[in-house]
Structures are given as structure tokens and as C-alpha cells.
Amino acid sequence: MNEADEALRRRALESAASVVDPEIPSLTIADLGILRGVVVRDGEVEVSITPTYSGCPAMSLITLDIQTALARAGIANARIRTVLSPAWTTDWLTDAGRAKLAEAGIAPPPPGASRRALFTEAAPRCPRCGSVDTEQISEFGSTACKSLHRCRVCREPFDTFKCH
Amino acid sequence: MPPGALAIDENPLILQLLRWADDALVLGHRLSEWCGRAPTPEEDLALANIALDQIGLARTLYAEAGARSGHTEDQLAYLRTDRQYRNCLLVEQPNGDFAHTIVRQLFYSAFADPFWRAACASSAAEIAAIAAKAEKESAYHLRHAAEWLIRLGDGTDESHRRASVALAALWPFTEELFEADGADAALIADGVIPDPAAIRLPWDSTVGSVLVRATLPRPPAGWMRSGGRRGLHSEQLGLLLAEMQNLQRAYPGANW
């Protein structure tokens, strides 16, 4: 890759990485691991993204937001490609992303939780008071990627980012 | 070809993709009918979320089938007739009461979960990629249905009675899940798609253990219904499609 292409790629990556998730605006698509990469071929920019859940309704808005962010950075006609493989996993959440989730009152996915367990799952830590004395209200929350919980200590309800 | 049908050159792989896509879309549509009407707000969110997963999966599969047949996702969803739909009969059955919906979810998810896991090993990269996504989501759907059926079966006399009625009503639609026909044989032999018959064992084991915990007796073997995979549907599918396709039929190409 020549120098001009590499500079363009970095500029495009920086712009794309600044796009926030429309449903969790405290996190960028880079924090969430939705942004998979940026390549430049013959001066053409291609951004790859992957959906968290296949029915995620935010994908079309994220695509539009990336195009807008790139256009603002002077990059027109970028191609946005949706890739399915490898499938998105919460392991791709960056440490910064996990910290931002907790700050926003959303418990990051509990480490080591098995999504294969048919009935049991480790209790997440309350993002407000830090207690692990929490209970699940529903496995399906306000968005496809979150579940709903309640803290037995501070009595506050909270969302948890599902282990996926 | 009947009027209003979409001309599709159905080779075995396109047919297979349509069968899976139709399962996902029809079930997603059925579940979306609960939106705003579920027993609790949490359950409303849960059913809507599962519906969204199914419709998302359907879109991916239609895109894949359409890339091979020369159609768009929308054409495949909105412009095929009921005879061109290849979903299994189970998913088109009406929601009924909450117990019917949960039993239908359990029967379908207990199949879909191991099925998609097996499809992750497909020799076709596109199918393996779609399966890897679907497999993760189906695990949640299965757990949701299993937990609910145990609560209903092992709940009050009324919830137990309703769960038993739903179980008996939907049991005859389960056999079709494991069916394969001539069109599948070469694809199965080449490792492109899993053999649905091989899913019977894990399905039996999952459903069996959930029924035991739910204190619900397993329905006796009896006459089993079939035909959906060949386009022979119950009356309910026509009504569902009439609602779903009405806008595109009345205003072809209408867009948001």
C-alpha cells in the first residue's frame, strides 16, 4: 500500500471509529467491536462492519452514520460492507467499551458466563453499587443485545450486556 | 404458474435457503403479532426481540437465495404465493394463547439450535457464516421457551391444563422438522447442509427433559402432519401472507 492510501485509510478509520451506536450512544462502534476494518484499494475506501444480532435494527443507521462521518472527513463514496463471519462476540468489546458500559449503568457481560447453560447463569455485578446480589428480571431487554436485571441491595433495575 | 406468483428457478440450494428463510420469516411474523399484547411488558420485549432475530435471519437468508435466483429480499418475501412458501407447518400455526406460543417456540427452537450448530460446519462458506450467527441467537430462544414451559406446566392447575392442550395441539407438527426429500439428498451428501433427520436425537433429549421438569406427559405417537416444505400449507398461512403482502401487492414497489 502506498503512503497516500495508508494516510487515507487512517483518516477513514479514525472517522468511522468515532461513530456511536445509536442505541447505546455512550459507546462507539469501535468500542463494541462492530467496526471490523477499513481497507483502501486504488483510492477507494471500504469499511467492514458486523451486526451484533442479525435483527439489529441499528445497522442501517450505523451504515448511514459511517458514510456521513467519512463524508465530513472529505471521503465520499465509501463502500460499507456487512460481514457475518466470524460472528460477533462480546469478547470483542474493548476494555474502554466495558468501562463506558458500566459508566452508562449497563453491566458488561459477566466474564466466563456460558451462553450454552440451559438454565443457570452467573449473576452480573450491579453497575451502580457494585453488589453481585442481583437477579434477572428478563433475558430480553430494551435492545436485542441487553437483558434486564435488578439489584437486591440498592434496589435499582439495570441492563446487562448479554454474553454472546 | 398461478397469477401473482413469482418466477423462480428453484435449484436445490435456492429451495433449501428459501425453506429456512420462510421458517424464520413466518415465525418472526407470528411472534410480532404479540407486540403490545403479551402478558407482561418484559414478555412483550422478549417476544418482540425474538421476532426481530427471526426476521433478521430471514433477511440474510433471502439475500443469499436472491443472490442466486436474481431476486431482492423483498421480492422473495412479498411476491411469492402461499404455494411458493416452503416453511414447515409448525411455524405458521396461530399464536393461540400464551401456552400455544411457548410450546411452538420450544418445538422450533429445540430444532433450530442444534440444526444451526450443525450448519456451522457447512462446506459452503456463506451458509457456515449465517449459521454461526443464527446458532448464537437460537440458544437464547430455546432457553426462553424452556423456562416458560416449565413455569406453565409446573405452575397452577390452569396453566398446566393450557400447556397440555397446546402440547397436544402442536405435537403433530413436529415430525416435519426432521424431514428431508430428494432435493436435499445431494446437498446433505456434499456437506452443504446438515441432515435434519440427525437433529431428532438432540431434539428428543431437549424436549424430553423440559417436559419432565414441566411435569407434562409426552404426547403419544400418532398421525403426523406434513406438506409445508412442498408448499402445501394450512389455511393460516394464506391469511398471514394476505396481511403481510397486502401493501406490496396493492402498491408494487412501495418504499418507506
**Of residues B46, B132, B144, nearest to A85 (C-beta):** B132
User: Given pLDDT bands bounded at 50, 70 and 90, which one contains residue A72?
Assistant: very high
DSSP B103-158: HHHHHHHHHHHHHHHHHTT-SSHHHHHHHHHHHHHHHHHHHHHHHHHHHHHTS-HH
Distance CA A20, CA A53 (A): 17
Nearest CA in chain A to B46: A140
User: Which amino acid is it at A15?
Assistant: S
Residue A161: how many CB atoms within 10 A of its CB? 26
- Whether residue B173 is contained in a domain is answered as yes
Distance CA B48, CA A57 (A): 12
Nearest CA in chain A to B49: A144
Which segment of A57-61, A77-81, B10-14 scores lowest on mean pLDDT? A57-61
Q: Do A53 and B56 touch (CB under 8 A)?
A: yes
- CA B140, B145, B148, B153 torsion-angle sign: negative
The set of residues, in sequence order, having a beta carbon less than 8 Å from that of B226 and lying 6+ positions away, is B89, B175, B176, B179
Say whether B49 sits in a helix, a strand or coil: helix
Q: Which pLDDT score is estimated for B39?
A: 93
**Of residues B42, B53, B55, nearest to A148 (C-beta):** B42
The set of residues, in sequence order, having a beta carbon less than 8 Å from that of B29 and lying 6+ positions away, is B51, B55, B240, B244
Sheet holding A44-49, edge to edge: A35-41, A44-49, A79-82
pTM, 2 dp: 0.90
Scanning B145-164 for CB atoms below 8 A from A yields 146-147
Q: Does A114 have pLDDT greater than 50?
A: no
pLDDT in tens, chain B (256 residues): 677 789 998 899 999 999 999 999 999 999 999 999 999 999 999 999 999 999 999 999 999 999 999 999 999 999 999 999 999 999 999 999 999 999 999 999 999 999 999 999 999 999 999 999 999 899 989 999 999 999 999 999 999 999 999 999 999 999 999 999 887 899 999 999 999 999 999 999 999 999 999 999 999 989 999 999 999 999 999 999 999 999 999 999 888 7
What is the domain count for chain B? 1
Q: Do B45 and A138 touch (CB under 8 A)?
A: yes
Q: Which pLDDT score is estimated for A116?
A: 55
CATH number at residue B173: 1.20.1260.10
Query: Rounded to 5 degrees, what are φ and ψ at B32?
Result: -65, -20
Q: Do B56 and A55 touch (CB under 8 A)?
A: yes
- Whether residue B255 is contained in a domain is answered as no
- Residue B207: which of B237, B238, B173, B184 has the closest Cα? B173
Q: Is the minimum CB–CB distance between B216 and chain A shorter than 8 Å?
A: no
Q: Does A97 have pLDDT greater than 60?
A: yes
User: Does residue B132 contact residue A83 with C-beta atoms inside 8 Å?
Assistant: no
Contact list, B137 vs chain A (CB under 8 Å): 53-54
Query: Rounded to 5 degrees, what are φ and ψ at A46?
Result: -125, 125
Query: Per residue in A51-68, is it b (16+ CB within 10 Å) or e — as a string?
Result: bbbbbbebbeebbebbbe
Q: Do A137 and B50 touch (CB under 8 A)?
A: no
Distance CA A12, CA A70 (A): 6
C-alpha cell at A79: 463502500
Domain ranges of chain A: 3-88, 93-161
Contact list, B142 vs chain A (CB under 8 Å): 118
Q: Which pLDDT score is estimated for B182?
A: 81
Parent domain of B93: 12-179+187-218+225-250
* Closest Cα in chain B, distance from residue A130 (Å): 24
Q: Do A84 and B139 touch (CB under 8 A)?
A: no
Distance CA A7, CA A160 (A): 38
Distance CA A162, CA A141 (A): 9
User: Given pLDDT bands bounded at 50, 70 and 90, which one contains residue A110?
Assistant: low
- Residue to test with chain A: of B113, B133, B150, most A Cβ within 10 A: B133
Distance CA B101, CA B106 (A): 9
CATH superfamily of A3-88: Fe-S cluster assembly (FSCA) (3.30.300.130)
**Of residues B48, B139, B147, nearest to A115 (C-beta):** B139
Strand partners, B16: none
User: Does residue A40 contact residue A8 with C-beta atoms inside 8 Å?
Assistant: yes
